[in-house]
């Protein structure tokens, strides 16, 4: 296993959250913007854990909202490094919803976020040493 493969595996990041009324819309499902915020946060943590450098989000790609996430559920966000470039990396994020009082779990949202490693002057630098 290469060093980058080990770093990729070690940087996988998981966050659990409960969906409360203050994060839902008038349909009592998670706001799309709130989901994007959570996805950007977990992908940032993953990219930082992978590179151990300052990184900034430069793009998000094709976010698919396949299942609504109702109020009163638990979500797990799973972020994994999908691709590594010279100065950037792509992080894939999946959101799984779980009913609070059953073992029912299903994939609800997927998307990718691209990060670039930067120096103090916000100029791109190699993401790996």
Instruction: Output the domain CATH number for residue 61.
Output: 3.10.129.10
CA atoms within 13 A on the CB side of 27: 7
Residue 128 forms part of a structural domain: no
CA separation for the pair 92, 114 (Å, rounded): 9
Tens digit of pLDDT per residue, the chain (129 long)?
466 789 999 999 999 999 999 999 999 999 999 999 999 999 999 999 999 999 999 999 999 999 999 999 999 999 999 999 999 999 999 999 999 999 999 999 999 999 999 999 999 999 998
Query: How many domains does the chain divide into?
Result: 1
Q: Look up the domain containing 72 and give its range.
A: 3-117
pTM, to two decimals: 0.94
CA separation for the pair 72, 29 (Å, rounded): 9
Residue 123 forms part of a structural domain: no
For the chain, give the number of residues. 129
Residue 126 forms part of a structural domain: no
Residue 125 forms part of a structural domain: no
Nearest-CA neighbor of 79 among 33, 128, 41, 118? 41
Residue 99 forms part of a structural domain: yes
Give the per-residue pLDDT at 3: 61
Residue 58 forms part of a structural domain: yes
DSSP state of 29: B
Residue 64 forms part of a structural domain: yes
């Amino acid at each position: 296993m290469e060093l980058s493969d080990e770093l990729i595996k070690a940087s996988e990041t998981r966050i659990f959250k409960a969906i409360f009324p203050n994060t839902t819309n008038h349909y009592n499902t998670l706001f799309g913007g709130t989901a994007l915020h959570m996805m950007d946060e977990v992908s940032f943590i993953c990219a930082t854990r992978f590179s151990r450098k300052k990184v900034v989000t430069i793009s998000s790609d094709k976010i698919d909202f396949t299942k609504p996430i109702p109020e009163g559920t638990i979500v797990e966000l799973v972020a994994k490094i999908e691709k590594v470039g010279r100065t950037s990396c792509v992080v894939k994020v999946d959101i799984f919803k779980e009913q609070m009082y059953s073992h029912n779990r299903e994939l609800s949202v997927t998307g990718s976020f691209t990060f670039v490693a930067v120096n103090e002057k916000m100029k791109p630098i190699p993401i790996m040493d």
